[in-house]
Structure 1
């Protein structure tokens, strides 16, 4: 690609990012839901179920990392619906008439999703502190945890974009992205895997969401890290690469660009 081509591609990406962010600002109900639902879940587990769950530590300290992953799942699932709306409302047909790189369209939605997730995650962290969450992490630990969460949400947002491309409606996009909201419940987000039935425990212990949660939990409250960080990074990087290739190839196949 020539220098002019690179400049044009960057300009297209910036334009689509601006559009995606403006759409996210207008869609207040989606932003509100992505914040409210994780807060309600955290309050439910801490105040209703927390007293009956033994995790070896204060339950709120245990559950907050899982709630953070749940928050990103809610935010990413809305990306699938926004992309599906573009694909099925005629907006993509209008964009196809313009000299815009296909990669830029999906990138705009992904960056808007990451920005929306960053805002909702920050609010959830502040609320958890108000509810009694007391991490003992230093500045570097916080940066590492935030970096891992950022990598995870970018990968998840690209996967959601791919689901939005193949969805035939906004409703079907919501259904396809349901697993993003369901998988954290089969992880170590809310209870220790040792408390699960023998047939379910390996699923909980070895799925990628558990690796990310345990790494964040270790960084924030000092639980044993073991080799969770390396595995979590490998899973997130692999998912990101797979999701980008999948989303862009599906988009080009459906739009002919």
Structure 2
């Protein structure tokens, strides 16, 4: 019975967050628009110079990596939303109601997940319009969106934890800057073999690189190797760690 109440409360909080996104769309539009604009900049401004890193049509190399910009950028939105709720007293109001307390966190995570997946669809459509030609099967597309969903879910829980720690919404937004920068410091834009030694080592061992290479392999037919296992392991590790950390902070704040 408690599980059914928790699911119902989480669904209610999800509707609340989707209504907020509908009434105040600027944050959601920014999360979707900015990565798409960056993709267009890299394609049409830097694409010629970076062609040698792709070994062919640069957009075919670029698009799979740019899809990961959406999960990175959505973290700032999640952290700001959580921090806003925490600092404006809505959490104390929820404490007086007969609801599952952690459902507020789950609602934010799931609401941002749906928005981010919408952004992935928009970016994919724009990439197809400017020349991206993936050769993936239906099953490979499903696997790609499954991995992206898992990654978005994982990063959202990490963002919830940072949002609860931040003293104000501005601070919450800034705290996620390292996460937003990680896609730029991996194999999403150029091959890691073109980087200086220190940066190359960092790029090869940070979580976005195996996820990028897995998505690129699924969509473009390149070699995946052990990147698939590493990608899933990174996502599960971040998701579990973020979930436990966020709920621990939330319990302390509402105790």
User: Is this a same-fold pair by TM over 0.5?
Assistant: yes
Deviation at 1:57, TM superposition (A): 2.4
Contact 1:77 1:180 in 2 (8 A): no
- Tell me the distance in 1 between the aligned counterparts of 2:24 and 2:144: 28
1:6 aligns with 2:11: no
Does the aligned pair in 1 maintain the 2:9–2:99 contact within 8 Å? yes
Aligned length: 253
Gaps of 5+ in 2: none
* 2:66 aligned with 1:52: no
Over residues 10-56 of structure 1, what are the superposed CA-to-partner deviations in whole Å (9 max), with x where a residue is unaligned?
22111111111111222211111112111110111001111111121
What is the CA-CA distance between 1:100 and the residue it aligns to? 1.6
State the 4+ residue runs in structure 1 displaced beyond 4 angstroms: none
The CA RMSD measured in Å over matched residues stands at: 0.9
Q: Deviations over 1:97-144 (max 9, x none)?
A: 112212201000000000110111100100000010000000011001
Gaps of at least 5 residues in structure 1 are none
Q: TM-score, normalised by structure 2?
A: 0.97
State the TM-score, normalized to the length of structure 1: 0.96
**Are 2:186 and 2:209, in contact at CA under 8 Å, matched by a contact in 1?**
yes
Is the 2:73–2:180 Cα contact (8 Å) retained in structure 1?
Answer: yes
What does residue range 38-117 of structure 1 map to in structure 2 within 5 Å?
38-53=35-50, 54=52, 55-117=54-116
Contact 2:94-2:101 at 8 Å conserved across structures: no
**CA deviation digits over 1:138-190, x for unaligned, max 9?**
00110011100000000001111111111110000001111121111110010
Aligned to 1:19: 16
Once residues 236 and 67 of structure 1 are traced to their aligned partners in structure 2, the CA distance between those partners, rounded to angstroms, is 18
